Amino acid sequence: MRMFLALALMFMSTGSFAAEEGDSTRGQRVYNACVACHSLEPNKNMTGPSLADLWDRPAGGLKSFTRYSEALKSSGIIWDNNSLDAWLANPDKFIPDNEMTFRGIPDARARADLLAFMKEATKPGNAKMAQTQGGMGGMMSRAAPNLKKLDPEDQVRKISYCRDTYRVTTADGKTHAYWERNLRFKTDSGDEGPVKGAPAILGAGMMGDRAAVVFSAPEEITQFVVREC
């Protein structure tokens, strides 16, 4: 009887293990839903914290990420297969009042695939490998571009302001006019932000009527924009 029980238990546990095991190749495609906000490179933080070395890390515990919600920091959760599965199924239900604007992945199979991919890709040194294998990113899920390497048409030389209009001159010599409400000013002081004195312009709207200029520091904004009619 005891022997039978042991065998039955063994069978049950291997059986459930096989059902939980995800496919990391499929999981990488699921991960495309995360790349706009999360990097796999250590301490490379974007909208959300870097996911490098995630397993066994306390929720809200990455020192270099400064925008965690109180909800996440005080949750007492340690990231592992189970907690990540519950979090990614429904973030708001698992940790109410968190600030990840992501609805969740209801499909258990897709989550298992995603976790199989993430478990490998979040290991130290594996971020690059995961990226080069990818290629499914496409336009919708592209990570933030590196603004240290700009084409001339994306590099800002001058911004003038007259009445309700900004005129932006780029390094290729062209000047575009924007209604003042359609041009945003942003900063990126990080490794992939623009070089000091060489802000970047990124087309934001589908119609080409809106754009964002990214500076290396906030002080640069007032230095750069000249009133001139």
Distance CA 108, CA 116 (A): 12
Nearer to ligand HEC, 114 or 159 (CB): 114
Q: What residues are paired with 227 via a beta bridge?
A: 161
> Are the CB atoms for 214 and 188 separated by under 8 Å?
yes
Interaction of residue 68 with ligand HEC, rule CB under 6 A: yes
Distance CA 97, CA 110 (A): 25
Interaction of residue 33 with ligand HEC, rule CB under 6 A: yes
Interaction of residue 99 with ligand HEC, rule CB under 6 A: yes
Number of C-beta neighbours around residue 101 at 10 A? 9
Interaction of residue 86 with ligand HEC, rule CB under 6 A: no
Interaction of residue 37 with ligand HEC, rule CB under 6 A: yes
Nearer to ligand HEC, 14 or 47 (CB): 47
Query: What single-letter amino acid sits at 77?
Result: I
Compute CA distances 171 → 119, 153, 162, 189, 190, whole Å: 43, 6, 21, 21, 22
> Stretches 60-68, 146-154, 158-166, 168-176: which one binds ligand HEC (CB under 6 A)?
60-68
Report the interface residues with ligand HEC, using CB under 6 A: 33-34, 36-38, 47-49, 51, 54, 59-62, 68-69, 71-72, 79, 88, 98-102
